[in-house]
């Protein structure tokens, strides 16, 4: 895999609704390979490789969890609303990149200093409505002067880091891990005679929205959502709660909150992995949902499934994943498309 590509995707700015930077990275990678590239009215991007066989849609969402500024206090502090699922308990002290009227600015989620908190206050999670962002402004006027405005968005401020031994750390692996797999698998599939469309979707984190219009336009015969899913192989998790583990290969969903993987898709994924000697694991906790949830309900229905790179700590400031899992996920997706196209 191209770690540089994951780095660029991870560091790109793309909260729900504002995916243009990620879209342009995908375009730069794939327009030289695709027969046709289009962008729809919501911002989904499509890369077509036209060949023989059923149309297979590969979808990876371009957005990441972020936040939206909802109010600027008299004293210059910013109130916000999360875009996508971010746990309030992880927010205090986090650094954010915000895109204001005058370009990018930095801020931190501030709280009262612990020194002046009461004992019970110190122990409890600060509710979202009590949190605020400090961008270094003494008044609303100064904040506006810096380019802050209501409606401004923000994402975690995290530099991509290689931890050594194949471990990779960065923000937004949900779903820039899936975007990386999408790019690499599509490039390989352009060398064979299959009918595949790679789609970068918008607004997944707020309700699988882009995938809905994308699938409606395409009416694919099969679809796979490519994801970065949670791995809970950390101290304190019981074996049956880990769901997925690092370095055990791509994570295949059987069921989650939004879909039951179509039996033919599931069978083809398993048979492909076994035939190719690709390690794989099942998502053992039926939590969360992916673009497959919206895609499979399109028009007359689309047999769909999800394949994901296991990542620890998703929806936080930084996730950790392993290079081997990327490589095996790319291999599985490539071989799956070839096999499902023959059947
Ligand atoms: Zn995701």
Per-residue pLDDT of the chain (343 residues; tens, 9 = 90+): 999 999 999 999 999 999 999 999 999 999 999 999 999 999 999 999 999 999 999 999 999 999 999 999 999 999 999 999 998 889 999 999 999 999 999 999 998 887 888 888 888 888 888 999 999 999 999 999 999 999 999 999 999 999 999 999 999 999 999 999 999 999 999 999 999 999 999 999 999 999 999 999 999 999 999 999 999 999 999 989 899 999 999 999 999 999 999 999 999 999 999 999 999 999 998 888 999 999 999 999 999 999 999 999 999 999 999 999 999 999 999 999 999 999 7
CA 68/CA 289 separation, integer angstroms = 22
Tell which CATH classification among 2.40.30.40, 2.60.120.460, 3.30.300.10, 3.30.70.1230 matches the domain 66-156.
Answer: 2.40.30.40
Residue 52 is among the residues annotated as catalytic for this protein: no
Q: How much is the pTM?
A: 0.96
CA 155/CA 120 separation, integer angstroms = 30
Structure tokens at 16: 């729900």
Distance 113 CA to ligand 1 centre (A): 34
Q: Phi-psi region for residue 208, left (φ > 0), alpha (ψ -120 to 50) or beta?
A: left
Distance 21 CA to ligand 1 centre (A): 17
Structure tokens at 130: 């009590």
Distance 162 CA to ligand 1 centre (A): 22
Catalytic residue among 204, 205, 327, 334: 204
CA 52-57-61 angle, 5° bins = 155
| pLDDT for the residue 111 | 84
Domain positions in the chain: 3-64+171-342, 66-156
Tell which CATH classification among 3.40.50.300, 3.90.640.10, 3.30.360.10, 3.40.630.10 matches the domain 3-64+171-342.
Answer: 3.40.630.10
Distance 212 CA to ligand 1 centre (A): 15
Q: What is the 3-state secondary structure (H, E, C) of 258-281?
A: CCECCHHHHHHHHHHHHHHCCCCE
> What's the burial of 265, exposed, middle or buried (CB within 10 Å: 0-12/13-18/19+)?
buried
20 three-state secondary structure:
helix
Do the domains at 3-64+171-342 and 66-156 have one common CATH topology? no
Distance 273 CA to ligand 1 centre (A): 22
Distance 183 CA to ligand 1 centre (A): 16
Alpha helices in the chain (DSSP H): 3-11, 20-30, 119-123, 140-145, 173-189, 209-218, 263-276, 291-295, 323-342
Distance 174 CA to ligand 1 centre (A): 4
| pLDDT for the residue 82 | 95
Distance 140 CA to ligand 1 centre (A): 35
- The answer to whether the peptide bond before residue 175 is cis (omega within 30 degrees of 0) is yes
> What's the burial of 4, exposed, middle or buried (CB within 10 Å: 0-12/13-18/19+)?
exposed
Phi and psi angles of residue 82, each rounded to the nearest 5 degrees, phi first: -75, 145
């Amino acid at each position: 895999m191209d770690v540089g590509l994951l780095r660029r995707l991870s560091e790109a700015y793309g909260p729900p609704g504002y995916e243009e930077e990620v879209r342009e990275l995908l375009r730069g990678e794939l327009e030289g390979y695709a027969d046709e590239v289009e962008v729809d009215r919501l911002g989904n991007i499509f890369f077509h490789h036209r060949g023989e066989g059923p149309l297979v849609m590969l979808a990876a969402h371009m957005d990441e969890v972020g936040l939206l500024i909802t109010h600027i206090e008299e004293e210059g502090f910013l109130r916000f609303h999360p875009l996508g699922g971010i746990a309030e308990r992880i927010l205090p002290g986090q650094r954010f990149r915000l895109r204001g009227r005058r370009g990018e600015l930095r801020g931190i989620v501030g709280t009262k200093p612990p020194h002046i908190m009461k004992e019970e206050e110190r122990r409890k999670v600060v509710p979202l409505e009590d949190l605020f962002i400090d961008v270094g402004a003494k008044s609303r006027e100064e904040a506006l002067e810096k380019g802050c405005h209501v409606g401004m968005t923000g994402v975690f401020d995290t530099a991509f880091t290689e931890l050594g031994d194949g471990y990779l750390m960065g923000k937004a692996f949900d779903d820039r891990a899936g975007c990386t797999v999408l790019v690499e698998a599509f490039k390989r599939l352009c060398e064979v005679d299959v009918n595949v469309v790679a789609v970068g979707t918008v607004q997944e984190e707020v309700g699988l929205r882009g995938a809905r219009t994308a699938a409606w336009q395409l009416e694919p015969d099969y679809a796979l959502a490519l994801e970065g899913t949670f791995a809970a192989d950390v101290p304190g998790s019981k074996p049956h709660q880990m769901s997925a583990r690092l370095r055990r290969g791509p994570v295949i969903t059987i069921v989650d909150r939004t879909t039951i993987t179509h039996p033919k898709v599931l069978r083809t994924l398993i048979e492909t992995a076994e035939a190719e000697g690709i390690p794989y694991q099942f998502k053992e906790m039926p939590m969360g949902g992916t673009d497959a949830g919206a895609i499979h309900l399109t028009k007359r229905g689309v047999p769909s499934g999800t394949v994901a790179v296991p990542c620890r700590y998703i929806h936080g400031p930084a996730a950790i994943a392993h290079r081997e899992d990327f490589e095996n996920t790319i291999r599985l997706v490539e071989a799956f498309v070839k096999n499902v196209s023959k059947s």
